[in-house]
């Protein structure tokens, strides 16, 4: 499952709320990969990766 925000950056870098998206994946029993797919690399690859993972982990924690 590929994720990005509506502004073409990583999750959490725009206005999309990923808590319900991850919740829906959990609800259907999805156990595959969630990968970040960005189209704007201006913030830098390291920042995009770090910030996206941090945000997705925070979203995941809200589901517990």
- Residue by residue, DSSP assigns 9-36 as S-TTSSS---HHHHHHHHHTT--S--EE
Supply 53's token pair. 């993972």
| pLDDT, position 31 | 96
Query: Above 90 in pLDDT, residue 64?
Result: no
Q: Are the CB atoms for 49 and 12 separated by under 8 Å?
A: no
Query: For residue range 8-62, what is the model confidence (pLDDT) as tens digits?
Result: 999 999 999 999 999 999 999 999 999 999 999 999 999 999 999 999 999 999 9
- SS3 state of residue 2: strand
pTM: 0.92
Alpha-carbon span 10 to 43, nearest angstrom: 10
């Amino acid at each position: 499952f590929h994720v990005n925000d509506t502004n073409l950056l990583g999750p959490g870098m725009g206005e999309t709320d990923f808590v319900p998206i991850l919740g829906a994946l959990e609800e259907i029993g999805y156990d595959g990969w969630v990968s970040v797919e960005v189209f704007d690399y201006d913030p830098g690859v390291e920042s995009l990766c770090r910030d996206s993972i941090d945000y997705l982990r925070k979203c995941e924690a809200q589901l517990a």
